[in-house]
Structure 1
Amino acid sequence: MQRSFKNMMLTCSCLLLTLVCACKKLVTVPPPINTISTVQVFSTEQQANAAMAGVYSRMINGTDMTGIGSIALNSFSAGLSTLLGGLSSDELYNYQGTADQSWYSVNTNKLTINNSSRPWSAWQSAYDAIYGANSVIEGIAASKSSMLKDSVRKALTGEAKFVRAFSYFYLVNFFGDVPLALSVDFNQTAKLPRAPQAQVYQQMVQDLKDAAATMPATYPTGNGERTRPNKYAALALLARVYLYLGDYNNAATTATMVIDDATDYTLESDPDKVFLTNSREAIWQLQQALQDFTIKNATPEGYIMRPNVLKIGIATFCLTPSLLAAFEPGDQRFKKWTDSTDNSLGTANKPGVTYYPLKYKISLANGESGAAPTEYYMVLRLAEMYLVRAEAAANGGPGGTATALADLDLIRNRAGLPPLSTALTKDQLLTAVAKERRTELFAEWGHRWMDLKRTNRMNAVLSATPLKQPWLGDYQALYPIPTSEISVNHFLTQNTGY
């Protein structure tokens, strides 16, 4: 049963499972009654940091530490956004086909209010993160403890606002208008209507500006690792938000602020190093727990994407022929970020050879229980900032065509591809941007799905995709609102077409 938005707020609990000291020790924060327990939770810096770390733990490990192996299927921030976006677009297909209707309905864009359990898990998990972020914001604001320094208050409040903006970004891109909950007070949230997307984006921009102004530029709370967002994570997400809003000047300017910090961020020259722990390209990564013997030391997404038996096992989520065809000859991203399996050798299953994402190398097949992770789950990385600036510049933002070409060529050079022609028209340049986004950001956080929608190419591309036939209409750009939410909050309305 889906955990409803109303029930989540009614719980009024700040029970946060926290991983402290590199996710080795769990800290249970006592639950308050109808409010935030500032004395118990935020009387010291250690407790406040633990509460914030607990939000990240739930985002990557889920709420039940015994179920980490399936968290990628159930949490928007541990792999579900990648799966939903990849299957809804022309990026992934589910090998099981009609045998797994929960994914088949997503993959064929035939969602109804009766078969939308997968998208509704994204709704629930995103609001869970928002609730945790709001708990931290309100807990810090209410705390009168002298042991909680002002600098720490500001930094942690910035982190919480960042997480809130991050979660709302995926909610509005999957569901459209959504309730804008800015408090854990049940009296304020129980009957919230859906806020227009423009209002939610406005809140995201404000939260991210606040976060960038108060968060540190380094990674002190992650012991130097990039597992807690900082100022540049807020700026990176803000640059993306500006791009989605069509504010090309601010998108390019904000992306440049991240790119120019060459001391901390550089493109890894080898694609195989991009997704490693503390990659120089990483702006923010989520650190998985190691307590689950099923997932071992893999990321949730690495665990779910790779076959259990390499080379002859079944890859459940496969790369589509159209995506494979998008890679140019010699593209190192195809060589190093994809792999294939001939599952017919061991099982007599067809079609036999299928390709799957290999951005994360560690899986059930080669993971080690209790071993230190060599990969963290990449959330934001520098390559996207170059692509954001390239698209913004191509659309008239600062730097124009010259900057757009230079940024695209940096990405292409890392992939082992030649530079683009300097004679490209604007339309050709935008096509080149879309192609590089597709081959650089594939199987990452639903980028392809959102790109098709925001650039008005969804109908043209997906209505011609065989698996999507018959194409039922562009209403499929948004997922249905969970009916369990509407049943308890009559101020909510359903998306058109459902």
Structure 2
Amino acid sequence: MKSLYKFRFYLTCLIVSLYILSCKDFVEIDPPNSRVIGSTVFENDRLATSAIEGVYHRMFDSGNFAGGGQWSVTTVAGLSADEFEVNPFSSSLQEFYRCDIDPSNPANLALWSSAYSTIYMVNAVMEGLKSSSVITPETKKQLEGEARFVRAFSYFYLVNLFGDVPLIITTDYRVNAKALQVSPDDIYQAIINDLEHSRQLLDDTYRNSERTHPNRLVASALLARVYLYRQEWSRAADLATELIGSTDTYSLAEDINDVFLANSSEAIWQIAPTNVGNTNEGNMFILTSSPVSSPWNPVYLKEELVSGFDNHDKRLLHWIGTFESNGTTFYYPFKYKIRLSSGQPTEYATVLRFAEQYLIRSEARARMGDIPGALADLNLIRNRSGLENYTGNSEQELLAAILKERRKEFFSEWGHRWLDFKRLSLANDLLSPDKEGWRTTDVLYPIPQRELDKAPTLNQNSGY
């Protein structure tokens, strides 16, 4: 019986994945075999749950978008900002480093396509749940809440990286073929709607006790970030406060080497490795040869970033590694300590973590004039890293200190630095001196050329 269940679990994941892999364009999706979806994937609670598990597995396995590989948000957005250097042989990544991206860039296409593939998968799950008459109400609520969160998460990155994008909320190929780009305001409203629904559908516990399955607080954490980006300071602060008050579930790890461990106290949401014992981030970032010639580990940290840390900052001492080659020292992210392993994973890719909530609330409080409250939150993060309290009381100086702390806390994580540049309108001032040929339109990535060729309803972003 156990082997039969495992077979059906992997069959379910395969069915869902094949829907995606067979779709050459998100608006050119073949009519799904709804009879197969309804009778196989959603014929009981366990198989319905397997369908959403297939989404998480696919997010990791693809290596793109949320996968932590060379063509992931973490890598390309880190290159676009001021975090990474890249070797000259990685032409597709060089374009992100220069902020001069050709619409035919394969990494750009992979980013877009894998995000929309994730969206299509969760749309399929939601439609399957809605049409099924045998799934229990409790399972329906749980899985719909998870699916809505993943869809909101995917759109958060699409709208921040590409600007006007199509809002795809169905698997109906006839509807998707006519999809038009909508404004960031409309995308954000859809994100907020999905996250609010998730908060209503989910409770505060983690399914299977693994922090790889969104719960209500996970949705709250992303919503706090959304409101910060939307400059709705009070809402951002209130949601961050909700997370910070959840002391039975979350806490700042006293030892920063524990932050990225599986199910750490600081993890709000993680993606577990599948079929390997290491994260894609660890595999790609940890250097074992010179990155200037390696096709496998082509990126490394900018010296300017490393020099910005105080010498006794624990993040410098424990989160940054060094590799010596021919008299040159290369620095790399060492937040994940395992490069390759076939054993049981001890590290999970950490997507949302508790420290961000303090810095969200610190910034929101500063914007609302609560300087003492903002300082208290900022200094918790500084103190954990072995730094003394920041004592400035000018709002502008404090905001600059928060931005500096965000850079040191979230380097090589999920494009935080690039998105901070964009939301705070700092990209032109901070990047134009170092990015030859920088144009103001470079803050958005181009719509992939393949998508434009296949979907005449799409319009290219300005500057491309």
- The one-letter code sitting in structure 2 at the alignment partner of 1:440 is E
Whether the 8 Å contact between 1:226 and 1:278 is mirrored in structure 2 is yes
Question: Is structure 2 residue 25 aligned with structure 1 residue 7?
Answer: yes
Q: Deviations over 1:138-159 (max 9, x none)?
A: 11111111xx211211111011
Map Cα deviations across residues 74-125 of structure 1 (whole Å, 9 max, x no partner): 334434111011100011111x22x2211111101111224x2212211000
Does the Cα contact within 8 Å between 2:358 and 2:377 map onto a contact in 1?
A: yes
- Residue identity in the other structure for 1:326: G
Unaligned runs of 5+ in 2: 1-19
For residue 284 of structure 1, the aligned residue among 262, 265, 269 is: 269
Identity %: 40
Choose from 124, 146, 157 the match for 2:113. 124
Q: Contact 1:438 / 1:448 at 8 angstroms: preserved in 2?
A: yes
Q: Deviations over 1:332-388 (max 9, x none)?
A: 00110001111226xxxxxx2110100100003xx3x2x111101101100011111
Deviation at 1:311, TM superposition (A): 12
**1:303 partnered with 2:283:** yes
Match for residue 460 of structure 1 among 424, 429, 434: 429
Aligned counterparts, 1:331-480, within 5 A: 331-344=313-326, 352-364=328-340, 367=341, 369=342, 371-396=343-368, 400-421=370-391, 423-465=392-434, 468-471=435-438, 473-480=439-446
Q: CA deviation at 1:322?
A: 2.1
Task: Give me the whole-angstrom Cα distance separating, in 2, the residues matched to 1:133 and 1:340.
Answer: 40
User: How far has the Cα of 1:7 moved from its partner?
Assistant: 3.1
1:493 to 1:8, Cα distance in 2 relative to 1, 3 A: closer
**Secondary structure in 2 aligned to 1:113?**
coil
Distance 1:107 1:433 in 2: 25
Partner of 1:183: 170
Which TM-score applies when normalising by structure 2? Answer: 0.91
Q: In 2, Cα distance between the equivalents of 1:117 and 1:173?
A: 19
Name the SS of the counterpart of 1:285 in structure 2: strand
- Distance in 1 separating the partners of 2:152 and 2:67: 13
Query: In 1, distance between residues paired with 2:136 and 2:176?
Result: 30
- Shift in alpha-carbon separation, 1:33–1:81, aligned structure 2, 3 A: same
Q: CA, structure 1 residues 453+75, in 2 after alignment: closer, same or farther (shift >3 Å)?
A: closer
Match of 1:484, as an amino acid? R
TM-superposed deviation, 1:227 = 1.2
Quick check: 1:107 aligned with 2:97? yes
Pick aligned residue for 1:161 from 142, 148, 162? 148
Say which SS state the counterpart of residue 275 (structure 1) adopts.
coil
After TM superposition, give the deviation of residue 316 of structure 1 in Å.
Answer: 2.4
Q: Distance in 1 between matches of 2:404 and 2:190?
A: 31
CA distance in 1, matches of 2:293, 2:337: 15
How much does 1:491 deviate? 0.9
Deviation at 1:277, TM superposition (A): 0.8
Distance 2:84 2:272 in 1: 25
Measured in 1, the distance between the counterparts of 2:385 and 2:293 equals 28
Aligned to 1:136: 125
Partner of 1:17: none
Kindly state the Cα deviation for residue 10 of structure 1 after the two structures are TM-superposed. Answer: 4.0
Q: Which letter does structure 1 place at the counterpart of 2:232?
A: D
Between the aligned partners of 2:459 and 2:34, the Cα distance in structure 1 is 27
Residue 208 (1) aligns with residue 174 (2): no
Q: Map Cα deviations across residues 279-322 of structure 1 (whole Å, 9 max, x no partner).
A: 000011111112xxxxx411011101112359999652111122
CA distance in structure 2 between the partners assigned to 1:402 and 1:35 by the alignment:
59
1:486 aligns with one of 442, 446, 452: 452
**Alignment map for 1:190-269 (pairs within 5 Å):** 190-220=177-207, 223-269=208-254
Comparing 148-157 and 35-44, the one that deviates more: 35-44
Deviations 1:261-292 (A, max 9, x none): 000000001110000011000011111112xx
**Would the aligned equivalents of 1:390 and 1:404 in 2 still touch at CA under 8 Å?**
yes
User: Which range moved further: 266-275 or 482-491?
Assistant: 482-491
SS class of match (2:350): strand
The AA in structure 2 aligned to 1:470 is G
Contact 2:288 2:323 in 1 (8 A): no
| TM-score scaled by length of structure 1 | 0.85
Deviations 1:201-234 (A, max 9, x none): 00000100100111121112xx211111111110
* Preserved CA contact (<8 Å) 1:299 1:375: yes
Q: In structure 2, how many angstroms separate the alpha carbons of the residues matched to 1:171 and 1:396? A: 29
Aligned to 2:305: 323
Greater mean alpha carbon deviation, residues 201-210 or residues 309-318:
309-318
CA distance 1:477–1:246, shift in 2 (3 Å): same
**CA spacing shift, 1:157–1:326, aligned 2, 3 Å:** same
Secondary structure, in 3 states, of the residue corresponding to 2:351?
Answer: strand
Aligned residues: 441
Q: Deviations over 1:21-53 (max 9, x none)?
A: xxxxxxxxxxx5267722221121101100000
Whole-angstrom distance in 1 between the partners of 2:30 and 2:67 = 22
Alignment check: 8 A CA contact 2:290 2:325 kept: no
- Which residue in 1 is equivalent to 2:257? 272
Are 2:152 and 1:172 equivalent residues in the alignment? no
Residues 448-469 of structure 1: per-residue CA shift (max 9 Å, x gap): 000011101101100122xx12
Confirm or deny: 8 A CA contact 1:308 1:363 kept in the other structure.
no
CA RMSD of aligned residues (A): 2.1
Q: Which residue of 2 aligns with 1:44?
A: 44
